[in-house]
Structure 1
Amino acid sequence: MPAVPSTVLKVSQNYFIRGGSDRYFFSLAALLEKKGHSVIPFAASQPENLPTPWARYFPTAVNFSSPSPADLVHFLYSRPAARALARLLAEHRPHIAHLHIYYGQLTTAILPILRRAGIPAVQTLHEYRLACPVSTLIDAQGQLCQACSGKDYWRAVAGRCNRGSLARSLLSAAEAYYARLLGGVVDHIDRFITVSHFQRRKLAELGVPAQKMSTVHNFVDVSQIAVNPVQGEYFLYFGRVERLKGIFTLIEAAAPLKDTPLLIVGDGEARAEAQALVERRGLSHIRLLGPKRGEELQQLIGGSRACILPSEWYENCPMSVLEAYAFSRPVIGADIGGIPELVDPETDGWLFPAGDVEALRDRLLTALRNREQTLSMGLAGRKKIERLFSQERHYEQILDIYAKVL
């Protein structure tokens, strides 16, 4: 009988939903609690945080908008986070720690605290931070890049990979080097969970020990989501509004399709630029709605004809694909990263070459011209979720990972 932890410490920089990794953080916590585990959250204290009695242990967040010298130091190594976690562990005893994205706010300062307390640690990897100081394997020009090769982080400074900024890139590289100086993330984490086979292979290629990684795809709980046989009349993108997400490729592809609305839901660094482009070209059928959550987002997904994921970086297991399927909507996705692991062409969606405007426009037109096929593909996606990405299957896989380190 595998060991089963009764109390799980869940660690993330955010205790609110900003992106797909945050949604997964909360979904997994809810699943563990549903199965009878106690869950202790640990995150940075931020105004957007959801209420929790555990907030009294949360350290003060780093101010990224107008950082002080202390904020810059805490970005590299957060003594407040280390002290806060030590205080929590002195008063409560979790059996295992499950980490998500924690650097920048909590930093690697928390890892020796867990180790000294004798608490096994697993980490779900939502991107490529172990090999790339800016997490994305994307350079300043928006091109795929592996120049750092998991160790030569100075190349990120030379290329100004963090938003084209020398200062930001220097800070990112310093954080990566400092983490290695402290013994390295790999040495402090007992098991890494990759969320796609592509991610696991890519990280192994870049130096992360393959024997410390296991793949567990994300999941969606569809128990309260009805199958939806009614097709909508608009296309939908929901996620971060950033250049690496292919937002501008999507706008160009949809620009001539003036009879079919394209709704862009989310926030991000490229939102203002995208809004300006839409207004300048008079693309009134393309609307940027800003961030939506909960029932409002669910209604938008369920009311669409198809959901689009035009990413131009190595996506792993994007929640937007799984959530589209959960609401019986097909997916038009770029053939990059882990997306092809989720989309079966002509069965539950379509793939197109990442960054190819004409190919994406062709897939949009195909979805418009083949109404019955588009509807049946959405229903096939729903069946796939129930079969391969259910909460029951996910729970079994996560429990198996926990058992390996207990």
Structure 2
Amino acid sequence: MNILQVHNRYKITGGEWTVLNQEYDLLKREHTVDQLIVDNTKELDTLFNKLKLIFTTHYNRKSRELVREKIRKTGAEIMHVHNFFPLLSPSIFEASLEEGVPSVMTLHNYRLIYPNGYLMHDGKIDERTIHGSAYSCVLEGVYRNSMLQTAVVAHMIEYHRKRDTWANKVDCLICLTEFAKAKFVEAGIPGEKMRVKPNFVDDAFRGLNLSEMIDQKDDYYLFIGRISEEKGIRTLVNVWNTWKSATSPQLFILGEGPLKKELQKKSQENTKISWLGFVERARVLEILSKAKALIFPSEWYEGMPMTILEAYSAATPVISTNIGSQGEIVHHNRTGLHFEAGKEQSLVETLEHFESMNEEHKGMSLAARREYEEKYTPEVNREKLLSIYREFVKNT
């Protein structure tokens, strides 16, 4: 199969860039894979180029022609878009349609229905655009604290809602979870256009003895992520600051972010909290594999939390908030436990329950590893992705 990946790369690369390249490496072993990458760093190098986005974010004719030329040059049989914002625009789907090539897009965030892509504003979940207009977000400047930039993205959202672009121009929209799919459907995007395929992580623990891995679990909990409000780190630190008995376990915090200095100062006398900062991936996996549990206190709708998938690969249970995709991925009383987002008492009670389980920890660890092997390995992901492609590509 001849596949064309299309992506608008941000100045600061994140999960989308990682997934794009993971899938490229998977697919190129057996298929022809070409890429069309535009880069914000190169394209938005002047004020003039940035101002042009006001007029092209919703529909870029040059991008449409660029994609048409790329499809013709490569002989692509299917186009897979990971991100079109802000340079390419949804015009690229008209290009593939005009060339008779089916198009697939992975919805890594909620950009089709909310200007900042997160269904979150001011540290709180915000669903106003699911049933209302994206223009309602303009005055509050939900995107980059800018009314102008929010207005530009809101116009893109409403322009394509009015034109039924997602119903008529795209063959398939890939959602990472059933939860995300439900939100898009609630916002008016046709469910029949959607397929659910999660992301994946490489198996760093392949071939290791699972029983030995589980027996080596240590008496500490772990947080991995950005030290910021929406990640629930304040709730987590507050709980540990009140749980300071001699027998309370250690909490390791991996990551950097805007709240780090404040929360470090707040917990400086608590010897049960260790701030490890940025840690290389190999060391992260080592710490994760020996943790009693990963704590995932995020207070917003996560997309596909890779740290949870990595915890599963390491046979480490997850204690997670019960909302969003994380609430779906973590199975309560099987691969981990749930608690109420932002509720300190709920987290305390959940931790105390987990501490009292003793021998049941091993069963959760086994279930976590089994969940990874069944859903989140590269091999499983490749077959799911190819199955979606074959559904829309003729003569395969």
Bucket of the pairwise TM-score, normalised by the shorter protein: 0.7 to 0.9
Choose 129-138 or 249-258, whichever is displaced more. 249-258
Alpha-carbon distance in structure 1 between the residues aligned to 2:43 and 2:356: 50
Cα RMSD after superposing both structures:
3.1
Query: For residue 348 of structure 2, what is the aligned residue in structure 1?
Result: 361
List alignment gaps of at least 5 residues for structure 1.
1-5, 48-59
Matched, 1:348 2:342: no
Q: Return the alpha-carbon distance in structure 2 between the equivalents of residues 91 and 157 of structure 1.
A: 40
Distance 1:21 1:266, change over 3 A: farther
Distance, in Å, in 2 between the alignment partners of 1:151 and 1:62 is 31
**Aligned equivalent of 1:38, options 32, 39, 42:** 32
Mark the CA change 1:405 to 1:310 in structure 2 (over 3 Å): closer, same or farther. same
**1:265 match:** 254
| 1:221 Cα deviation from its structure 2 partner | 4.1
Q: Cα–Cα, structure 1 residues 183 and 350, in superposed 2: closer, same or farther, change >3 Å?
A: closer
Segments of structure 2 that go 5 or more residues without pairing to the other structure are none
CA distance in 2, matches of 1:236, 1:138: 25
Q: Does 1:9 pair with 2:18? A: no
User: Is the Cα–Cα contact under 8 Å of residues 40 and 87 in structure 2 kept in the other structure?
Assistant: no
CA distance in 1, matches of 2:187, 2:90: 20
Cα distance in 1 between the residues matched to 2:189 and 2:121: 21
Match of 2:174 in 1: 193
Q: TM-score, normalised by structure 2?
A: 0.83
Residues 79 and 242 (structure 1 numbering): CA distance in 2 closer, same or farther, change over 3 Å? Answer: farther
Paired residue type of 1:354: A
- Residue 185 of structure 2, aligned match among 191, 204, 213: 204
Structure 1 residues 364 and 163, CA, compared in 2 at 3 Å: closer, same or farther?
farther
Q: Secondary structure at the match of 1:12?
A: strand
Query: What is the alpha-carbon distance in structure 1 between the residues aligned to residue 282 and residue 312 of structure 2?
Result: 16
Deviations 1:335-394 (A, max 9, x none): 112223322222220101111112123333444454543343122200122234344433
Quickly say closer, same or farther: Cα 1:318–1:85, change in 2 above 3 A.
same
Q: 2:109 aligns with which of 119, 124, 127?
A: 127
Q: Is 1:218 equivalent to 2:199 in the alignment?
A: yes
Displacement of 1:242 after TM fit? Answer: 3.6
Q: Which amino acid in structure 1 is aligned with residue 36 of structure 2? A: F
Shift of 1:204: 0.9
- Alignment partner of 1:238 is 2:224: yes
User: Secondary structure, in 3 states, of the residue corresponding to 2:136?
Assistant: helix
SS of residue in 2 equivalent to 1:173 = helix
Alpha-carbon separation, structure 1, partners of 2:70 and 2:6:
12
AA in 1 matched with 2:81: L
Counterpart in the other structure of 2:294:
307
Does residue 337 (structure 1) correspond to residue 319 (structure 2)? The answer is no
Aligned with 1:13: secondary structure?
strand
Cα distance, 1:296–1:114 mapped onto 2, change above 3 Å:
farther
In the aligned structure 1, how far is the partner of 2:358 from the partner of 2:303? 29
SS in 2 for 1:295: helix
Distance 1:350 1:372 in 2: 15
Change (3 A) 1:280 1:312: closer
Matched, 1:138 2:120: yes
Q: CA deviation at 1:182?
A: 7.4
CA distance in 2, matches of 1:118, 1:265: 47
Taking only the aligned residue pairs, the percentage that are identical comes to 27
Task: Tell me which residue corresponds to 1:27.
Answer: 22
Deviations 1:242-287 (CA, angstroms, capped at 9, x unpaired)? 42222222222233345644333345xxx12233232244256545
How many residues are matched? 381
Q: 1:383 aligns with which of 355, 370, 373?
A: 370
Question: In the TM superposition, what whole-angstrom CA distance separates every residue of 1:79-125 from its partner, at most 9, and x where no partner exists?
Answer: 77556545543532222111223313433343333333332111111
Partner of 2:309: 322
Amino acid at match of 2:84: Y
Kept after mapping to 2: 8 A contact 1:334/1:352: yes
Structure of greater Rg: 2
Contact 1:149–1:206 under 8 Å retained in 2: yes
Distance 2:8 2:252 in 1: 29
Name the structure with the higher helix share.
Answer: 2
The answer on 1:247 being equivalent to 2:233 is yes
Deviation at 1:308?
1.7
TM-score, normalisation: structure 1 = 0.81
